[in-house]
Copies of this chain bind each other. A is one copy, B any other.
Amino acid sequence: MVTIKDLAKATGYTIATVSRAFNNSSLVADATREKILRTAEEIGYLPNALARGLVNKATSTIGVIVPDITNPYFPVIVKSIQDTIKPHGYNTIVCNTDWIEDTETESAKMLFAHRVAGILMDPLSDRTYSNIYNAGVRVPIVFVGNKTDSNADEASSILIDNFSAAYQATEYLLSLGHERIAFVGGDEDTHVNRNRIGGYISSMQRHVGALDPSLLMKCRYTQEAGYMVASALIRSGRLPTAIVAGNDIIAFGVMQSFHNHGYRIPRDISIIGFDDIEFSSNIGLTTMQEPRSEMGRMAANLLLETIRNAEAHLKLETKNILLDAKLIKRDSCASPS
């Protein structure tokens, strides 16, 4: 393992000069820097990031925590984050929680132990912030995609206006002539779920009056869960004419179930999703599009700004930004027959 000492010996300078050469310090002569850098290549010297992080008390790594990297919703955000921070010299450690709150806390602790400069995360629950704070994690955090309502002034967040988006989705279905509209969405009590359900209920109540509670179904954010709920719905015999799904993955499961049971979409039942993941267009799913790349980019920039301010011992006012979702009309919704 070649260290700074080896490079010092090889060039004839001391480690102090070598270090400066690698840190673009103006305190080394250009000729010296050049010679050092050239020799570094030759002998294969790569600065030890651990030693650097130790003395600098900060790394150029940013932690990213998501619930499920196999849901295409997240990789786009992760990639957008990576693309945004890379030009600033940062890299990422990505963690997967599998929707398990303990894993989320452990991940945050691990990231903090690695002294990441900051954390970007899609929180699992309203307890997330206090969980990781109580675990001793002290590092700038920006939420993306979801947030913890109880700590809105402790950490910034970037997400869509879920209430309004769900309202809009439901309105669209109503405008098509549907009246019996079900909601199949997330079962955890989070900001996103509360607002999507809230928007749905609000729209329904405005147009249909009291809501039939059996139309509100909760499940996990997986295709299997959507499939199960739809199958149960079919077995119950009291089908709605349209469904608002909590996200596209759930919608996929719902569609597959209806398909397997001989129903045709949108002829027999309409469905609208959330997120607009890549494959929704292949399947022709009408959905509320989240600007995920933009969310990732904005969240990353906000975190970078927060980190810079923290280094300068200023505290940046936290921002809770709501973006607009956009209705993407495709082939999964039609007027009831």
| Partner-B contacts on A (CB < 8 A) | 1-2, 44-51, 53-54, 57, 59, 61, 69-70, 72, 75-76, 78-79, 82, 91-96, 109-110, 112-115, 135-138, 223, 252, 255-256, 278-279, 281-283
Contact = CB atoms under 8 A, between A and B. Distances in A.
A160 to B, nearest CB: 19
16 contacts: A46-B109, A46-B135, A47-B113, A49-B110, A49-B113, A49-B114, A50-B114, A50-B115, A51-B54, A69-B78, A70-B72, A70-B76, A92-B93, A94-B94, A223-B278, A283-B283
Count of this chain's copies in the oligomeric assembly: 2
Given A75-B69, A94-B94, A46 B282 contact: no
Contact of A110 (B91, B137, B138): B91
Contacts of A94: 92-94
B45 A136 contact: yes
A96 to B, nearest CB: 6
B96 A138 contact: no
B279 A48 contact: no
Nearest to A277: B279
Given A50-B53, A138-B1, A283-B282, A91 B93 contact: yes
B279 A113 contact: no
Given A48-B113, A51-B54, 6 more contacts: A44-B136, A46-B136, A50-B53, A50-B115, A69-B79, A255-B282
A110 to B, nearest CB: 6
Contacts of A283: 279, 282-283
A202 B270 CA distance: 47
Contacts of A252: 279, 282
A70 B135 CA distance: 32
B112 A46 contact: yes
A256 B282 contact: yes
Contacts of A278: 70, 223
Contacts of A75: 69-70, 72, 75
B1 A57 contact: yes
